[in-house]
Chain A
Amino acid sequence: MTGAAALQRWWPWVPLLVLVLLPVGIRETFYLDLLMTTFMYAAITLGWDIMGGYAGYVSLGTVGFYGLGSYAGALLLLRFNIPVFVSAPFIGVLCSLVGAGLGWIALRTRAAAFVIVTLTFTSIVQLLALNLKGLTNGSSGLYMPLLTLPNNLILLPFYYYMLALLVFAYFVSRAIRGSKFGLGLIAIREEEEKAEGLGVDTSLYKILAFAISVFFACVAGALRAQYLNYVDPDIAFDLFITLSPIVMALVGGRGTLIGPLLGAFLVQPLSQYLVFLLPSSVAGQLHLVALGVVLLLVVLFMPDGIVNAYRSARAGGSGWRGRRQTAPPAEAAP
């Protein structure tokens, strides 16, 4: 009994321990790099899901914040000599403030407008990066000095930093899910007007959720810039970074704690493996096609993701989609 309870309580730490110890055994850069990017996407996806899953507001602005983080990290290093490892959390907080500002503009309206505003935000930041040449060096990008570490160890600080970011994202998401704040966000997703009627401060909650949700993309962007020792507008604002977390959350299960994690750990290795496996002449394009196929299959057969499909199979229900269909139309005005 106590054994089972202990298992219940402690099992999440087992994979974490494995991941912490893994670099001791594995020295191959390919796998460590793969794991590191997986951590990065998992953290970004967990963050995205706070807004996109819990509150139900799909953001297409992820890479805008990621790129903002990249440039902030690079500029703080180049201009003020602040190492990215030190500045990253602060950049995250700063971006959260930008997110709150953007949210304040975009979230006073309902669903669709928000999507457009976040996408526009990405384009605006990218245009700024391209055109503020004095600051960003335009399309030539910024080179950042290498870390002074032996070649075979240079990956490790990034590996652990991203892992820490992922663990932090997990606990933030978990704390939100178990809180009144989280319940309020889910109420917003299900029916905003009703949530408001029950006393949920919907505007404030949405802005807060969005601010928290972009933190992780920003920190990841800053770290990644240092990892590549280079930023330019194409790398920092690759739309793939907006789309991947959405695919991952959909595959794993939106609005759940485990779903985004599961999605990231399935999709990212799969997509990297395809790049590795396929002849290099087509790899760059074909793995994107494969990702599209995965997304299509999920949308067709498991529209609520693995976690939700598993849950409703266990509950004997028909899953989210089934329930939604049985929901009556909105009440009509008399």
Chain B
Amino acid sequence: MSSGNVLEMRQLFAGYGSGGDILRGVDLQIEEGDFMCLIGPNGAGKSTLLRTISGLVKPRQGSIQFRGQEIGGLRPDRVFRLGLAHVPQGRSTFPDMSVWENVLMGAYTLHDRRIRQERLEQACAMFPIVERQRNKVAGLLSGGEQKQVEMARATMTGARMILLDEPTLGLEPRASRTVVEKMQELNASGVTILLVEQNARTGLAASRTGCVMELGRIKLQGHGPTLLQDPEVKRLYLGQGGTMTAPRPPTGQVVA
């Protein structure tokens, strides 16, 4: 609709193989520079939505526009080249490659050495771990460190938008706090972020806007911290509508 939206989905349907639809008419707009957190119960289609956007799953119906261009059904590498990176669930580093090689893989389609060098420096500045552990084999890093390497890799194409699928899953609290901070730093540097999070409280508190997905559709959408106060969200995703500790306000935005 307006040029302020970096990503727009209309009546999006998708599913796997010959199975039924997982996404059943998703309508969602994400503004440039937003940090949106997507929550919802298991099986709501959150991961499928990210996989459909990044081209791993082909949409059956509807449209996905990234910066005004239709990307529904494009191959994953095409979508990636357009500046939309996907950090999937679990660990997705190349475990036998060094940290440095992993980050370089993000610049695979980049042929301009100068730009590549620039991006490498930016990535190192935001993710010091890349420089510190550059020759270490990525598979030997801890989960949180690997997530940071993946995020650094995602920035290498100069991605305007990054999709993150439960990046804090299985991380110890301190590592997950670092990952959340890194997401906010990335966002502060101008990258639009769409985050899928099981832990609704952490996710909504860290983000600017939030939306709730249920049975393949977007059910609620709004300001992140406000959604935290929504009685229904409270009841469904935060466990009980009773008293709860006030959410931590978004941590101060660190400028990279």
The interface stretch among A113-121, A122-130, A227-235, A316-324 is A316-324
Complex Cα distance, B46 from A331, in Å, reads: 14
Q: Which of A285-334 contact B (CB under 8 A)?
A: 315, 317, 320, 323-324, 326-334
Complex Cα distance, B42 from A333, in Å, reads: 11
A333 contacts B16, C-beta separation under 8 Å: yes
Instruction: Select which of A186, A193, A334 is within 8 A of B43 by beta carbon.
Output: A334
Complex Cα distance, B44 from A331, in Å, reads: 16
Nearest-neighbour CB distance to chain A for B58, whole angstroms, equals 14
A320 contacts B96, C-beta separation under 8 Å: yes
Instruction: Select which of A190, A320, A328, A334 is within 8 A of B22 by beta carbon.
Output: A334
Q: Which residues of A contact B187 (CB under 8 A)?
A: none
Q: Which residues of A contact B91 (CB under 8 A)?
A: 327-328
Q: Between A and B, how many residue pairs show CB distances below 8 Å?
A: 87
Nearest-neighbour CB distance to chain A for B54, whole angstroms, equals 7
A197 contacts B105, C-beta separation under 8 Å: no
Nearest-neighbour CB distance to chain A for B192, whole angstroms, equals 19
B77 contacts A187, C-beta separation under 8 Å: no
Q: Which residues of B contact A180 (CB under 8 A)?
A: 108
Instruction: Select which of B16, B46, B95 is within 8 A of A323 by beta carbon.
Output: B95
Q: Which residue of B lies closest to A323 (CB)?
A: B139
Contacts A197-B54, A199-B109 given; does A191 touch B140 at CB 8 Å:
no
A198 contacts B97, C-beta separation under 8 Å: no
B90 in the interface, Cβ–Cβ < 8 Å?
A: yes
Interface of A is mostly: helix
Contacts A183-B104, A200-B108, A317-B140 given; does A190 touch B97 at CB 8 Å:
yes
Q: Which residues of B contact A331 (CB under 8 A)?
A: 47, 88-90, 92, 165
B94 contacts A194, C-beta separation under 8 Å: yes
B81 in the interface, Cβ–Cβ < 8 Å?
A: yes
B48 contacts A334, C-beta separation under 8 Å: yes
A263 in the interface, Cβ–Cβ < 8 Å?
A: no
Q: Which residue of A lies closest to B97 (CB)?
A: A186
A187 contacts B105, C-beta separation under 8 Å: yes
Q: Which residues of B contact A238 (CB under 8 A)?
A: none
Nearest-neighbour CB distance to chain B for A199, whole angstroms, equals 4
Nearest-neighbour CB distance to chain B for A164, whole angstroms, equals 32
A196 in the interface, Cβ–Cβ < 8 Å?
A: yes
Size of interface on B: residues with Cβ below 8 Å to A? 38
Instruction: Select which of A186, A196, A315 is within 8 A of B94 by beta carbon.
Output: A186
A198 contacts B90, C-beta separation under 8 Å: no
Contacts A194-B92, A334-B22 given; does A326 touch B108 at CB 8 Å:
no
Nearest-neighbour CB distance to chain A for B71, whole angstroms, equals 14
Q: Mark B93-109, 1 if CB is under 8 A from A, else 0.
A: 01111000100111011
Complex Cα distance, B77 from A200, in Å, reads: 8
A259 in the interface, Cβ–Cβ < 8 Å?
A: no
Nearest-neighbour CB distance to chain B for A124, whole angstroms, equals 34
Nearest-neighbour CB distance to chain B for A106, whole angstroms, equals 22
Instruction: Select which of B46, B97, B153 is within 8 A of A334 by beta carbon.
Output: B46
B73 in the interface, Cβ–Cβ < 8 Å?
A: no
Q: Which residues of A contact B109 (CB under 8 A)?
A: 198-199
A89 in the interface, Cβ–Cβ < 8 Å?
A: no
Instruction: Select which of A183, A197, A332 is within 8 A of B101 by beta carbon.
Output: A183
B139 contacts A198, C-beta separation under 8 Å: no
B137 in the interface, Cβ–Cβ < 8 Å?
A: yes
Q: Which residue of B lies closest to A320 (CB)?
A: B96
Q: Which residues of B contact A334 (CB under 8 A)?
A: 22, 42-48
Q: Which of A148-184 contact B (CB under 8 A)?
A: 180, 183-184
Nearest-neighbour CB distance to chain A for B152, whole angstroms, equals 13
Complex Cα distance, B63 from A8, in Å, reads: 58
Complex Cα distance, B85 from A101, in Å, reads: 34
Q: Which residue of B lies closest to A194 (CB)?
A: B92
Q: Which residues of A contact B16 (CB under 8 A)?
A: 333
Q: Which residues of B contact A197 (CB under 8 A)?
A: 54-56, 76-77, 80, 86
A327 contacts B88, C-beta separation under 8 Å: no
Nearest-neighbour CB distance to chain B for A249, whole angstroms, equals 16
Nearest-neighbour CB distance to chain A for B123, whole angstroms, equals 15
Q: Quick one: which of B46, B56, B94, B106 has the most chain A CB within 10 A?
A: B94
Complex Cα distance, B16 from A193, in Å, reads: 16
Complex Cα distance, B86 from A239, in Å, reads: 45
Contacts A197-B86, A199-B77, A199-B109 given; does A327 touch B94 at CB 8 Å:
no
A187 contacts B97, C-beta separation under 8 Å: yes
Closest 3 CB pairs of A and B: A199-B109, A197-B76, A323-B139
Can you give 13 A-B contacts (C-beta < 8 A)? A186-B94, A187-B105, A189-B96, A190-B95, A198-B106, A199-B81, A315-B137, A317-B140, A323-B95, A326-B139, A327-B95, A331-B88, A334-B42
- Give the B-binding residues of A (Cβ under 8 A): 180, 183-184, 186-187, 189-191, 193-200, 315, 317, 320, 323-324, 326-334
Q: Apart from A183-B97, A190-B94, A194-B94, what are 12 other A-B pairs with CB-CB below 8 Å?
A: A183-B108, A186-B94, A186-B101, A197-B86, A199-B77, A200-B77, A330-B90, A331-B90, A331-B92, A332-B89, A334-B43, A334-B44
